[in-house]
Chains A and B, each alone.
Chain A
Amino acid sequence: LTTIMAVEFDDGVVIGADSRTTTGAYIANRVTDKLTPIHDRIFCCRSGSAADTQAVADAVSYQLGFHSIELDEPPLVQTAANLFKQMCYRYREELMAGIIVAGWDKRRGGQVYTVPMGGMLVRQPVSVGGSGSSYIYGFIDSNYRSGMSKEECLRFTAEALALAMERDGSSGGVARLAAITEAGLERTVILGNQLPTFFSA
């Protein structure tokens, strides 16, 4: 299915995802972009059904854009996360969508909210999702420290994704990263052969 991840740091968030979309064993898209903008400083990481997550993300971007214009100010990350939750919970029987909402807003800085399948909502300093996430919980738990800098977070995310992509058959391709801060957005791609390497049996 996927590996997706998001980390909070002082001035913002770092998000990351692999780039593999599969139909069965066939890789339908090996350069997918699973990091989708919902608003200027708010992104979501999509895992689960590509169709479902795209549809939900489109609906939420629309609602959030409208809400932001009404309020005449940039929307809160919490608002975006709540909109995702409302939709994912209401249609929980029909959907297969595990989404991580991450971004920056003026009120609370960088925030990561996870909306797993079923429609729960909880804020976490680090969150991982998708089929590949199971393989990296140990790595995350032992290597995460609070108060990391943006560069440290980017490295942490890249390493975690690399480990997951190595072990999970449904994750692979390139690693896409993005750092979101007040100043803006920085997207990077790490090609397959440039990913951090670890011991492999």
Chain B
Amino acid sequence: MSSIGTGYDLSASTFSPDGRVFQVEYAMKAVENSSTAIGIRCKDGVVFGVEKLVLSKLYEEGSNKRIFNIDRHVGMAVAGLLADARSLSEVAREEASNFRSNYGHDIPLKHLADRVAMYVHAYTLYSAVRPFGCSFILGSYDDDDGPQLYMVDPSGISYMKEMTCRELVKEVAKIIYIVHDEVKDKTFELELSWVGEVTKGRHELVPKDIKEEAEKYAKESLEEEDDSDEDNM
């Protein structure tokens, strides 16, 4: 689906005759073309998974993180232009920090999502700047409000299932493995993080041993499915 916005697509401060802002739509394309980011909410926490495409064998494991910590209790997984995403994570961190400084408690996730979304929106209003080419998922967990997940601009996948966080980590790994298109992109590194009762409300990267267990489960499930496909044929 290609849209031609000749003449009306040069700046974010111009509407097209049919009421679209093409620059914003093009920005969303940057997100669509990037690799997958998932956030899933379960009853006692939230798990993030990101498929990080490895562009070169020279990259060290764990470089170019796409999951960020925004304050202790909030995590952010991104898709799209990584540089744009990094600067937005700084914005989110400042918002969360200023809130705590003014009001004395953790920023509610909805409020944080609103504030960052307002910031992102501001860049779609002027011709002097370009919109952010990334979308992100914010997740948090606390005792009072429970697990919460918010997306800023459509990207990734977000849904809720009834499982514990520990079980969910394996499922997220499995999803990323399934979604990974082997023909299009060769190697990838799985980045996993979680926040929930299991981490006492702190957003952290999933520990190495649990992550390895999850990847093993994911790879085994894929093999099983391959086998069953062959049998049916």
Contact = CB atoms under 8 A, between A and B. Distances in A.
Given A78-B104, A78-B105, A79-B104, 12 more contacts: A70-B114, A71-B108, A71-B110, A79-B103, A79-B105, A81-B104, A82-B104, A82-B105, A83-B102, A83-B103, A85-B104, A86-B102
Contacts of A72: 110
Interface of B: 102-105, 108, 110-111, 114, 144
Interface SS majority for chain B: helix
Contacts of B144: 107
Contacts of A112: none
A76 interface: yes
Interface residues of A, number: 13
A67 interface: yes
A60 B9 CA distance: 46
A82 B103 contact: yes
A153 B108 CA distance: 33
Nearest to B108: A71
Contacts of A83: 102-103
Nearest to B115: A70
B118 to A, nearest CB: 11
A71 B104 contact: no
Contact of B111 (A71, A81, A82, A85): A71
A85 to B, nearest CB: 8
Nearest to A81: B104
Interface in A41-78: 67, 70-72, 76, 78
15 contacts: A67-B103, A70-B111, A70-B114, A71-B111, A72-B110, A76-B105, A78-B104, A78-B105, A79-B104, A79-B105, A81-B104, A82-B102, A82-B104, A85-B104, A86-B102
A107 to B, nearest CB: 5
Contacts of B102: 82-83, 86
Contacts of A85: 104
Nearest to A64: B103
A79 B108 CA distance: 13
